[in-house]
Structure 1
């Protein structure tokens, strides 16, 4: 599960929970398009596909929704508060539409897929509702609205990967970019809406992924993040003619190697891994290539086997711990982050303590943590009572957060006194006198600006002090 909209975190993620605004681009004589994106990295990536489709039809983009002819909000449905933020934002668009009655307002993504045409009834302001697999149809849907109709397309696909569309890089630092390698999810975690909002899992053509990585590197990008709901289950076999011999299947370990070989100067990250699928082959591939970052996001959700079974995570406590042991053995310096849910249905106090003990065992670098929030339509909502009182959920969440804060500090303190290769991503949010970037383990590093270097350069930084989320240092030769 890719997730950026958690309410509680101990890792500074620059795009976490923020709207994505487009920078002006495209044809100057076109209608103006504005997109905001909420939620996971996949939504941000999808917005870049939407922009590419509409720019090809003559649209130009704007960063001011008040001057836009078409306003889209790309939505997250993973938690109730994520949906409430979308509804609140739509109300803010209402004033702009009252001054420009011709403005088209559309909802894209997971929330659109979950609510479908019902959204048009609930939000009278909305003209278009489009699911994640229907973005190619946007020009036709906009035409329907121009003709005075509301428009909906939420059909899910077993084939669509948008592999032939070159995303328009939006609001970018020109250094880091996302590459979507697959869509959908076949894991039916009982708490999760993703299989219902993004459809079945399908992997993108490996050649198109490598081609996109090469194009990004040639355009000056130094880092790509390979995206999938479960990247470890990536599997692609090229179609063959009847007269040809079968072609080998490319798994995620093979794909990682192919992308890493684009250039040793192109840094590779990926998200998200699933504990049931991450293999030693992937770990050995990571260890073999210096430009594959030594960092894995490995959601645990709970440290108790019974709760994991109720969640339908398809692994138990011992399996997860064995995978952590394999990571530590094969990639000793690897950073590990996670997701934790507190107060899942019927969770006892002893089971909650097993989550805390799992955290003590791994000592995660950082984590995304939240109290269980029942989502309509999920297996958990249909099968189990949401029976843990909110005050207990919140108390357990506080215990998880406090423990993770200590572990995050423990991990960052280990970086002090060591030299790290850091890709300069931009200026620090707090001071234009400091650069910022991340080390191999995905920890944010802040260091004074040096006139010899610029955004996009690799530098060696020695850690001198830290907080629980940030390493503070200086460039060394």
Structure 2
């Protein structure tokens, strides 16, 4: 491979944590190895696939993609193919056995070693694999993009200790481990220097964050939120994904005290049936979840909630499904990530008898999504003819002075301004609702 012509194509599947990891890969390769990132796989000589194992048929999806890339490698044998992410952690050497044209397998905790693995592969021409779990090593030299970024994600912890019966994450991301406070703040200050106004805190179970420094000083998630809120140039704080089991009174209190914390929360419940929650090993009840939401609404009356739902979990009856529909209506969720249950190999739930046929699962999912869509539209309709605080993230048409931004509740707004409002939070009058965005008026 020509060392002066190293073009990398990165394909990312899955959650925002994977997006964050792919951004980290991009920054490491560009800074340390002087690679060029390309948006075309046909133009690249290094192909990187960052995988996700949450959704159905993750393995089939992986090998279909690798099959397409095999054709590219046949035309150019010097192409290097690397597979990372949760499926890489889960399958390891099995990927190399089934797809012998793959050159590198790296894990969720070893992505920072990718430049070294690529160099060794170029020198030795042998497949490389590293899916170990070195604790937080990948965060020691986090690199920040050189371009301005106004809304920035930052991973504050990795892994999960909950071991829900359906979930593969503890096996692919490892046990919960929190980044040191100083390490997190260093990254945030660098992001602020590059224009960040909004910080999105990421973790598989983000509100379980808990760190102890070398002097024995402890920091909980609620304390971390307060510290970040004290940073002058940070104007907005979001976090995901939370577990109701760790959503304590201290976190709720932050909604009283910290206006920088947005009035929008993603809090997965998965089911409205206590029976199903128990089978899922979710360790909380519907009543407990409702109590949290009730307290949040008291603390922040205008808060909007989104959630996750798994439909057709083994043992789910029509009555159980109706309980889920009831809580969707009762709590008036703004939006949701909902999908049909599919067993993940190696999880306890994969051993349960799946007693629901796929047709019934699809019917239930359709009913649920229709209700959620209805509620989303109702929430959006309330925004019409109101002023909304919008963080302007980019200019989408310089000639027409059009900008794109996000509201606190994650709606996209397009507006016109003859001033440079990039990176600013401006008060916008919402005058139209389009299918996928709002339009607004900004006079100043």
Both structures adopt the same fold (TM-score exceeding 0.5): yes
Distance in 2 (CA, whole Å) between partners of 1:169 and 1:182 is 21
Equivalent residue for 1:395, pick from 350, 363, 373: 363
1:475 aligns to what?
442
Question: Helix, strand or coil for the counterpart of 2:26?
Answer: helix
Offset of 1:283 from its aligned partner? 2.4
How does 1:299-378 map onto structure 2 within 5 Å? 299-378=268-347
Correspondent of 1:187 among 139, 162, 169: 162
- In the alignment, structure 2 segments of 5+ residues that lack a partner are none
Q: What is the match of residue 416 of structure 2? A: 449
Identify the range of structure 1 (63-72 vs 178-187) with the bigger mean alpha-carbon deviation: 63-72
Deviates more, 1:361-370 or 1:144-153: 144-153
From 186, 193, 204, the counterpart of 1:229: 204
Measured at CA, do residues 392 and 208 of structure 1 come closer, stay the same or move farther in structure 2, by a change above 3 Å? same
Distance 1:342 1:222, change over 3 A: same
User: Are 1:35 and 2:10 matched, yes or no?
Assistant: yes
Distance 1:435 1:373 in 2: 40
CA offsets 1:342-394 (integer angstroms, 9 cap, x no match): 10001000000000000011111111111111111112013x12221000100
1:148 aligns with 2:125: yes
**Residue number in structure 2 paired with 1:7:** none
Map 1:392-471 to 2 at 5 A. 392-427=360-395, 434-446=402-414, 448-466=415-433, 470-471=437-438
Distance 1:119 1:56 in 2: 29
Bigger share in helix:
2
Count of residue pairs brought into register by the alignment: 439
Q: Structure 1 residues 96, 392: closer, same or farther in 2, change over 3 A? A: same
Q: Deviations over 1:282-325 (max 9, x none)?
A: 22223322222121100111000010010111101100111110
Question: Quick one: which of 74, 89, 96 aligns to 1:113?
Answer: 89
| Contact residue 296 and residue 334 of structure 1 kept, 8 A | yes
| Cα distance in 2 for residues equivalent to 1:342 and 1:432 | 45
Is the deviation greater in 395-404 or in 218-227?
218-227
Deviates more, 1:316-325 or 1:220-229: 220-229
Question: How far did 1:83 drift?
Answer: 4.0
1:233-272 matches, cutoff 5 A: 233-240=208-215, 246-247=216-217, 249-272=218-241
Compute the displacement of 1:86 (Å).
3.3
| Residues 255-292 of structure 1: per-residue CA shift (max 9 Å, x gap) | 11111222254322111111111123222223322222
In structure 2, what is the Cα distance between the partners aligned to 1:453 and 1:388? 55
Of 155, 158, 164, which residue of structure 1 is paired with 2:140?
Answer: 164
Unpaired segments of 5 or more residues in structure 1? 1-27, 241-245
Q: Deviations over 1:396-454 (max 9, x none)?
A: 0011011101111121122223211101123569x9774332211222223x3111243
Q: Deviations over 1:57-112 (max 9, x none)?
A: 42412213334332211111111244444333323322322232111101001010
Structure 1 residue ranges, 4+ long, deviating more than 4 angstroms after superposition: 431-434
Please tell me whether the aligned partners of residues 173 and 426 of structure 1 are also in contact (alpha carbons under 8 angstroms): no
2:287 match: secondary structure: helix
Tell me, what secondary structure is at the counterpart of 2:246?
coil
> Residues 111-148 of structure 1: CA distance to partner in whole angstroms, max 9, x if unpaired?
10111100011222211111111224324433442312
- Contact kept? 1:186, 1:201, Cα under 8 Å: yes
State the TM-score, normalizing by the size of structure 1: 0.86
Q: Which residue of 1 aligns with 2:257?
A: 288
**SS of the counterpart of 1:133?**
coil
Partners of 1:49 and 1:165 within 8 A in 2: no
Aligned partners of 1:409, 1:428: CA distance in 2, in Å? 25
Does residue 214 in structure 1 map to residue 189 in structure 2?
A: yes
- Of stretches 134-143 and 450-459 in structure 1, the one that deviates more from structure 2 is 134-143
Corresponding residue of 1:49: 24
SS at match of 2:251: helix
CA, structure 1 residues 265+227, in 2 after alignment: closer, same or farther (shift >3 Å)?
A: closer
